[in-house]
Amino acid sequence: MIEVQHLTKRYGRVTAVDDVSFRVERGEILGFLGPNGAGKTTTMRILTGYMPATDGKAIVAGFDVFDQPIDAKRRTGYLPETPPLYPDMSVVEYLQFVAKIKGVPSGERRQRLQQIMERTRIDDVGHRLCGKLSKGYKQRVGLAQALIHNPDVLILDEPTAGLDPKQIIETRELIKKLAGDHTIILSTHILPEVSQTCQRVVIINKGRVVAIDTPDNLTARLRGSETMYLQVDASGADAGASLGRVPGVTRVVESDRRDGMTGYEIDSERGRDVRRDLARLVVTSGWGLLELRPMRMSLEDVFLSLTTEEVPTPAPEAAAALEGEVVHE
Ligand SMILES: Nc1ncnc2c1ncn2[C@@H]1O[C@H](COP(=O)(O)OP(=O)(O)OP(=O)(O)O)[C@@H](O)[C@H]1O
Ligand SMILES: [Mg+2]
């Protein structure tokens, strides 16, 4: 449904987007994640035809955004970083205007408007001027204008920015409901939002894709070795030493201790599940078992490890080889 091939955008000497490629399948929600200045907004602007790329190709709903911009735009709803509102129009006037320019047939406009205003929960501000709305309401009207012509593809640049917690949850639910019928790319800085809403994630840093995968695979794949957390009541016994002798265990670190309970972080060889042996040791030693669980890297850890890595910048060939290692697709 969306295909981006070797997209590059340069602003003078700044390369904002550098050889970015990815695909989004029909009905999928793709999360676009990256630190400030990573190139998210630039990529979205190119995809929505607001700006030409320096190089590369983008196909949206079967149309090349450079060669067939009108067909591509007709099938795209775009919520820019700053909602594109006319401050002197009321919300209803503005949405009627957008519906008209986006080609919603006049007989259907009224009903469509009502439906979208209910869905985005702006029916109570229909007659207020856009310019006088609070930030959260402006964001909701921005979402409404992106949805008004029922586009196949939705490109949402930080759709939950500026919303209150209740509205964030409602907007996420709305986005999830829209997937299936719509193909969605959304950018965000909120990491839990990605695991809650998106099937796949593109992480970009300094204009380059550093990882593309499902949130689960990203957190599992970058874990390195397997780590378990075990908490026992071993009352005085040197549990750490015994745990270290379990076959497959490579390292035991005491992580916390209180009221006679001790927590350990236990590393094991990759691919080796030591849980049964750990449990057996606990039982045969007569310790009390309080907790045993795998420790996963959080998406936050993954994000930081991929975007703050100090990559040395020697010869271009060596740099290319280094980058090849971190790209997971
Ligand atoms: N019109 C412009 N002229 C020059 N440089 C620009 C322009 N727009 C963006 N840039 C630069 O391109 C890079 C990418 O910016 P972009 O806005 O795409 O980042 P972003 O990932 O959306 O960041 P944020 O999370 O802060 O929204 C930045 O270095 C930015 O300074
Ligand atoms: Mg941005």
Q: Where are the domains of the chain?
A: 2-75+151-220, 224-294
pLDDT at 328 over 50: no
Best substitution site from 42, 189, 191, 202 to test ligand 1's pocket, by max atoms within 8 Å of Cβ?
42
- Amino acid 263 reads G
Which has the minimum average pLDDT: 57-66, 71-80, 193-202, 298-307?
298-307
Q: What is the mean pLDDT of residues 94-115?
A: 94
pLDDT the model gives residue 259? 85
CB 79 within 8 A of CB 47: no
Euclidean distance between CA atoms 59 and 230, whole angstroms: 50
Euclidean distance between CA atoms 324 and 205, whole angstroms: 14
Work out the end-to-end distance of the chain between its first and last CA atoms, rounded to an integer number of angstroms. Answer: 19
CA of 52 to the centre of ligand 1 (A): 15
CA of 38 to the centre of ligand 2 (A): 8
CB 83 within 8 A of CB 131: no
The total number of residues written for the chain in this structure: 329
- Residues with C-beta atoms within 5 A of ion ligand 2: 40-41
Residues 39-72: tens digit of each pLDDT: 999 999 999 998 999 999 999 999 999 999 999 9
Which ligand has the nearest atom to the CA of 43?
1
pLDDT at 24 over 60: yes
CB 31 within 8 A of CB 186: yes
CB 176 within 8 A of CB 164: no
Q: Any idea what DSSP says for residue 238?
A: -
CATH topology for the 224-294 domain = Alpha-Beta Plaits (3.30.70)
pLDDT the model gives residue 221? 62
CB 311 within 8 A of CB 291: no
131 lines ligand 1 (CB under 6 A): no
Q: Tell me the whole-structure pTM to 2 decimals.
A: 0.77
Question: From 3.90.15.10, 3.40.50.10070, 3.40.50.10490, 3.40.50.300, which CATH number describes the 2-75+151-220 domain?
Answer: 3.40.50.300
pLDDT at 269 over 90: no
- Look at residue 157 and give its three-state secondary structure: strand
Q: Where are the beta strands (DSSP E) in 259-287?
A: 261-268
